[in-house]
Amino acid sequence: MNTIHYVLIALFGAYFVMRFLIPTSVFPRKIKVSRAYLAAIFLILAAALVITPFVWLVCNVFKDQSVLMKYSFLPPISEWSSQTLNFTNFTKLFQGEESPQGTVYFWQYIINSIFLACAGTSISLFLTSLSGYALAKYKFKGRGFLIFFMAGSMMFPAMLFLAPLYQIIYKIHWMDSYLSLLIPNACAVFGIFLFRQAMQGVPNSLVEAARMDGASEFRIYWNVMMPLVRPMTGAYCLITFLGNWNNFLSPQLYIQTHAKLTLPVILNQYLGLYLNEYGVFLAGTLLAIIPPAILFFALQKEFVAGLTTGATKG
């Protein structure tokens, strides 16, 4: 722990004692005001703590390899020059690297990652919401058992299935194919349950009204159900996109062709036994943050609403 940590802990402790342990009525007005200031200071410091690594990352991607370890953030302004601050890391990142399949450029990995994250999210969104709809709105024999079985399967850690999954993928010749990345996670039980819960909150009479109106079962799902669980859809999109975007293990295991690799795998290769390109690694990391950040801001409203759906009446 460094000094900042001690200061933050002290501030938080003081705030906690004043906020929760001492009854409000004993405070004179001045203390009440100062308590509000204290809360503001605490929140500003907490926000600074959260944003610091990001600022550190942005500073370091523009630093030359020669001064990378010399300063925590940027060098003093007096030392700013093209020797200390430049785009070398990005140039190196995009210059391409040799592989058995020829030169592969960094943008190829970005495209791979974007494709896999988008395709994985789309497939998963469609299948999990469809399954959730069926479990929420259809009565069929064995439904209870199916739900129990699926809920039970969530209790096993994913690592447990790694070996059998590898064997299955190997036997059905999906090695080095994107199917091995897209299909096993296409219908996540977690997603099915999320959608089931959200769709259970939609009154049955809406489904019945649509049925009377002449809607087919798929149209009811698509035109009535999905718009009504939009907050959940936004939240699930973001969660799944991030999961796919950051997926390291599966591409590492199943993909062998260099040109098919994804960002997390390739970024990891910059920090290895024989290569320690921290600057290039950080430049890649910065670029890797951008797509999920864009998606987050685009879906922020849906995402926050999704997390609070059902929390309050009406």
212 binds another protein (CB under 8 A): yes
Q: Tell me which amino acid residue 280 is.
A: V
Question: CB under 8 Å to 221, separation ≥6 — which residues?
Answer: 129, 130, 133
176 binds another protein (CB under 8 A): no
213 binds another protein (CB under 8 A): yes
203 binds another protein (CB under 8 A): yes
Alpha helices in the chain (DSSP H): 3-16, 29-61, 88-94, 106-137, 143-153, 162-171, 179-182, 189-200, 204-213, 217-219, 226-228, 230-245, 249-254, 263-269, 278-308
138 binds another protein (CB under 8 A): no
- Please tell me the distance from the alpha carbon of residue 114 to that of residue 294, in angstroms, as a whole number: 12
Choices 51-59, 97-105, 183-191, 216-224 (CB under 8 A): range interacting with another protein: 216-224
Site size toward another protein (CB under 8 A) is 17
Among candidate residues 154, 310, 305, the one with its CA nearest the CA of residue 233: 305
Residue placing its CB nearer to another protein in the complex, 35 or 211: 211
Determine contact, residues 226/215, Cβ cutoff 8 Å.
Answer: no
- Please tell me the distance from the alpha carbon of residue 314 to that of residue 312, in angstroms, as a whole number: 6
- Tell me the closest approach of the beta carbon of residue 105 to another protein, in angstroms: 44
- Tell me the closest approach of the beta carbon of residue 305 to another protein, in angstroms: 14
Residue placing its CB nearer to another protein in the complex, 225 or 287: 225
211 binds another protein (CB under 8 A): yes
Please provide the distance, in angstroms rounded to a whole number, between the alpha carbons at the two ends of the chain.
46
- Tell me which of 188, 224, 237, 287 binds another protein, using CB under 8 A: 224
228 binds another protein (CB under 8 A): yes
Q: Name residue, tokens 């099915």.
A: 192
Residue placing its CB nearer to another protein in the complex, 176 or 213: 213
146 binds another protein (CB under 8 A): no
Contact residues toward another protein (CB under 8 A) are 203, 205-206, 208-215, 219, 223-224, 227-228, 230
